[in-house]
Amino acid sequence: MSRFILITPSPDYERSVRASVAPLSGSLQSFQANYLPESPDDILRQQVGEPPEVLILGPGLPREDALKFAAVLDLQYPEISIVLVAEDNGELALQAMRSGIRDILPPTADMEQIRALVERASLAAAGRRRGLAPNAAERPTAEGGRVVAVMSPKGGVGKTTVASNLAIGLGQVAPMSVVLVDLDLQFGDIASGLMIEPEYTISDAVVGAASQDAMVLKTYLSLHPANIYALCAPRNPIDMDKISGGHISNLLRQLRTEFQYVVVDTAPGLGEHVLATLEQATDAVWVCGMDVPSIRGLRTGFQILSELDLLPDNRHVVLNMADRRTGLTVQDVEATIGAPVDVVLPRSRAVPFSTNKGVPLLQDGSRDAAAKGLRQLVDRFKPNWEGPRKKLHRRAVVQ
């Protein structure tokens, strides 16, 4: 089976693409033509086996015809990633996104750029195939993908670290199908924690055309090398006042229609934006430190949200910076909050080092004990995951 298809009248460009994808597994089938067929089936019926992963619309094809052809292909075969080779004049990106084109490749791109972009498109195709699989237990449904709110009533417990590593880990499960949203609108650290310089932030994404069209919204996201997208917090904390709970609800509804996983790093406490997130969330990851204020805060948070009927159905409790020398045990925490601790992350010097470096533990393949716990958390979101049922221990409640 040919993983890649190229349509272009240029033999030189065909040779360049063939040499670029040679290190990748799979073959390239090219069609030298300066026009496109009426139907994608005219091309795909010439393939053997399953449909290809990436279709490259090369230079020399009429642009309007290419956009129309891409729109039909995306509708009929959404698991195929489409790459358009053209110069982006500013307006083309929006038209391309609306037509289902995944990336725009400059005609002058060198072999390394072509290879990297085609490989990224191939990973995206793999993620979309998993999401479209009929028996995938956690695939996006008519309502969309999973919205995972990473929560903590108190600050300073490592919530952003957990959220960024969870997104990175899920990106390894479903490449290009994960978006990390920084909803700590005043002091969010996702951009610095992932070494991202965002062109747009959430302030731009909740207004204008992006708030009306999910495909436009995707052009406002920042792409991370670990095959995930990120939507970073505003550059100016004052911009928080311009973003309402309604904006957040609409944003998350849009994102869950486009992504298999939407990981939300919320602000500490239970403010308007956090409550709006919980209304859309399918899962909540509760992060708790091994100290009395954090534990009591989590217990109070559970009680308040239970009264408001805002507790998501799927709950995952993470005990961070666990240390026996604190005088508390995991069983003490469980007895106090009235819920099992699902993942324990031991105190580790590797965690602040990875934060300062801007490379999450799960991105650099660390074998640290904390990384092992983070992988356990990621495993809980894999399709068909069935974990052990923990029983609560009867221990002293932290007063």
Residues 6+ apart with CB under 8 A from 323: 290, 346, 347
pLDDT band at 142 (very low <50, low <70, confident <90, very high): very low
pLDDT in tens, 58-92: 999 999 999 999 989 888 888 888 999 998 776 78
Q: What confidence tens digit (pLDDT) does each residue in 254-310 have?
A: 999 889 999 999 999 888 899 999 999 999 999 998 888 989 999 998 889 888 888
Q: State how far the alpha carbon of 388 is from the alpha carbons of 145, 340, 391, in Å.
A: 24, 11, 10
The span from the CA of 44 to the CA of 37, in Å, is: 11
User: Could you identify the residue written with the tokens 């004990």?
Assistant: 369
Yes or no: say if 269 and 304 are a contact pair by the CB < 8 Å rule: no
For residue range 194-207, list pLDDT tens digits in order.
998 888 899 988 98
For the chain, the straight-line distance linking the first and the last C-alpha, in angstroms and rounded, comes to: 64
The angle at the Cα of 185, spanning 218 to 202, to the nearest 5 degrees, equals 15
Nearest to 162, CA basis, from 180, 146, 135 = 180
pLDDT at position 138, please? 41
pLDDT at 49 (0 to 100) = 59
pLDDT of 392 over the 60 cut: no
Q: How far is CA 70 from the centre of its chain?
A: 24
- 235 DSSP 8-state letter: S
Task: List, in order of start, the domains of the chain with CATH numbers.
Answer: 2-132 (3.40.50.2300), 146-380 (3.40.50.300)
